[in-house]
């Protein structure tokens, strides 16, 4: 099998840093060249997803892959590797994790309702994000603060080309910053992004 530089890099990372938490579930995607991961039956309450498993890069969180985690299985934290480029629909819906949740640098795609109604303490949106699905972060925020006060300030990266309706519904949002304001306005005009769904 021939590997590109991207794959070789994460193969080396997997060799150096190990295979992560045992018991996670993996499925081949992209014609067998990569893997998506879901919760399975992990052996630890602190989950570390490896960048490589069984010789293949782990690039996607499966649809509903970690939905309701902590509510049903006592998971305390999940660490995503920078090999993750896509988070599937409903991947972390209603998840509750007390530890800070860091979206990986290199993330490109966040599916619909990916973090809907989740209790997660996010830090920022990676600059690499291109697509944010409808209701992706709907009512998402840390447990210790009112849900409607999360995402008080949102920064939209320059490369983001699609933001679905109600992606950041939050009554507490006070400011939105964008790297390319004209591009942002074009998105609004074409209906890809409706500002009132953020601010109201």
In a domain, 2, yes or no: no
Determine, yes or no, domain membership for 8.
Answer: no
| In a domain? residue 24 | no
* Count: domains in the chain: 1
How do 86-87 and 153-156 pair as beta strands?
unpaired
160 occurs within a structural domain: yes
156 in a structural domain: yes
pLDDT value of residue 200:
33
Closest by Cα among 48, 55, 108, 67 to 84: 108
The pLDDT of residue 183: 54
Per-residue pLDDT tens, the chain, 200 aa: give them: 444 554 444 445 444 445 799 999 999 999 999 999 999 999 999 999 999 999 999 999 999 999 998 877 788 899 999 999 999 999 999 998 877 788 999 999 999 999 988 887 776 789 999 999 998 888 776 655 444 445 556 778 888 888 888 887 764 555 666 665 545 555 554 444 444 334 33
What local confidence, expressed as pLDDT, does residue 48 receive?
Answer: 96
Residue span of the structural domain in which 132 resides: 59-199
- State residue 65's pLDDT score: 96
For the entire predicted model, the pTM comes to: 0.79
Whether residue 134 lies inside any domain: the answer is yes
Residue 137 has a pLDDT of 85
Angular region, 67: left φ>0, alpha ψ -120 to 50, beta rest: beta
> In angstroms, rounded to a whole number, what is the distance separating the alpha carbons of residues 86 and 181?
25
131 with 103: CB under 8 angstroms?
no
Q: What pLDDT is attached to residue 14? A: 44
Q: What are phi and psi of 32, to 5 degrees?
A: 80, 15
Q: Would residue 13 count as lying in a domain? A: no
Q: Identify the pLDDT of residue 34.
A: 98
Residue 128 covered by a domain:
yes
């Amino acid at each position: 099998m021939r590997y590109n530089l991207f794959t070789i890099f994460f193969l080396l990372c997997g060799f150096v840093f190990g295979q992560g938490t045992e018991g996670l579930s993996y499925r081949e995607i992209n014609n067998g060249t990569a893997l998506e991961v879901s919760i399975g039956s992990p052996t630890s309450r602190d989950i570390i997803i490896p960048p490589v498993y069984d010789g293949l890069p782990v690039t996607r969180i499966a649809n509903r892959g970690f939905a309701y985690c902590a509510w049903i299985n006592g998971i305390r934290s999940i660490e995503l590797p920078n090999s993750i480029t896509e988070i599937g629909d409903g991947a972390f819906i209603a998840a509750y994790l007390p530890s800070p949740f860091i979206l990986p640098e290199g993330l490109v795609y966040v599916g619909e309702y990916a973090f809907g109604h989740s209790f997660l303490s996010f830090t920022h949106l990676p600059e690499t994000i291109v697509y944010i699905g409808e209701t992706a972060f709907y009512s998402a925020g840390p447990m210790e603060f009112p849900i409607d006060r999360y995402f008080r300030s949102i920064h939209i990266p320059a490369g983001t080309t699609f933001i679905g309706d109600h992606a950041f519904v939050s009554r507490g949002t006070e400011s939105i910053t964008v790297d390319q304001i004209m591009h942002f306005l074009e998105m609004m005009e074409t209906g890809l992004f409706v500002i009132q769904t953020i601010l109201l």
